[in-house]
Amino acid sequence: MSERQNSGFSRRGFIGTLGTGATILAATPFISGAANAQGQSSVPETAAAKSARTRTIPRTQQTLTTLGLGTFLTFDARPGDDRRRLGEVFRRYVAGGGRVIDTSPLYGSAEVSVGAFLAGTPEASEIFVANKIWSTGEYLGDESHAVASFEQSRLRIWRDTIDLMQCHSIVNAPVVLPLMQAWKKEGRIRYVGVTHHESGLQDHLVELVERGGVDFVQTNYSIFNRSAERRLLPAAADRGVGVLINLPLEKARLMKVVEGCPLPDFAREFEAATWAQFFLKWVMAHPAVTTVLCGTSNPEHAEDNVQAMYGPLPDEAMRRRMVQHMETIPGFADIGRMPWYPDKDAQYQGLIRAAQATARARIGQ
């Protein structure tokens, strides 16, 4: 991957220093760091002197920003709910230089929200949209459900050509991947990808990458779960395949573990001002990683996250030091046994959670 940058406190503490961040962002394209008591930026360079870090994928020459906005659960709202807060998340992400959005028809109303926010965004034409297909059809080889899903996605996000379509969680890959390759040849999509969020399926992703025919692969990878380093990331790098990363914060479990812990002093060396930036920069620093997908329903967290695209990234020695530091923090080794979104699950009560609750009620759980 070719890379270019175009030029010790908690997430809550960092956000607090931003003050009227939403008002400021409306007036300027990007705030490059937290303001100190004198109103000076804590990051030396200003927005005029630099822009978001990007990486270019060798196989396709597509250039993407290193932070993407994920939408699973966080962008799922019930019909009629107030979506202004989600719209503000989207706006701050784009204002901060981000240009990659990842969604799926399976994410409740998230795909609909993405379409609505894109329609109201002046930078919409610059935004790379990654979408997905999850379809088995009524019989082996049946493409009809996948075709219907694709047409629905085009209407929801109001795009004639979708940048990237991914086979969601490798479901029905023998049918879906050839279909998407045909769409690419016909100009209906630009790139073909495949995804999963479980480490146990990474060897299968490796097989698909090595077989050829995919331009992108999406997988889980974090400072806690580094299994993708074993085969998948090297395979993608060898073949010039783009890599989208999910679960970089382990669905907020990493943030829960470091709650109340001071950021190590050495984080200053790569200009990480919060734990979120610490974890995101660790993932971004792997040379095979193209874009790190991070979802949130909190506009202030979105404003925090985009800072990870600015300033230096840790080198390999520093990344090892970061892992070693995390291994001294109580609870880090047990993250895999924690529930997703600890203490936050009540925030995500959209169509997905409503359907899950109905299913539990029907079987008496």
Query: What digits encode the pLDDT tens for the residues 190-233?
Result: 999 999 999 999 999 999 999 999 999 999 999 999 999 999 99
CATH code of residue 293: 3.20.20.100
User: What does the alpha-carbon distance between residue 106 and residue 91 come to, in Å, rounded to a whole number?
Assistant: 23
* Per-residue model confidence as pLDDT tens digits over 150-206: 999 999 999 999 999 999 999 999 999 999 999 999 999 999 999 999 999 999 999
Split into its structural domains, the chain has a count of 1
- Residue 166, in any domain of the structure: yes
What is the band of 38 on the pLDDT scale with cuts at 50, 70, 90? very low
DSSP string for residues in 94-124: HHTT--EEE--TTSTTHHHHHHHHHHT-TTG
Kindly state whether residue 27 falls inside one of the protein's structural domains.
no
Task: With respect to residue 25, please indicate whether it lies within any of the assigned structural domains.
Answer: no
By DSSP bridging, strand 242-246 and strand 53-56 are: unpaired
354 domain-assigned = yes
Evaluate whether 96 touches 306 at the Cβ level (below 8 Å): yes
Residue 20 falls within a domain, yes or no? no
**Is the per-residue pLDDT at 317 higher than 80?**
yes
| Strand order through the sheet with 2-5 | 2-5, 53-56, 63-65
| Domain of 260, in residue numbers | 62-362
Phi, psi (degrees; rounded to nearest 5) at 237: -65, -40
Whether residue 228 lies inside any domain: the answer is yes
CA distance 365 to 362: 8
0.85 cut: is pTM over it?
Answer: yes
- Look at residue 57 and tell me if it is in a domain: no
Asked whether residue 5 is assigned to any structural domain, the reply reads no
Q: Which two tokens stand for residue 80?
A: 């009629």
The answer to whether residues 65 and 5 touch, using CB atoms and an 8 Å cutoff, is no
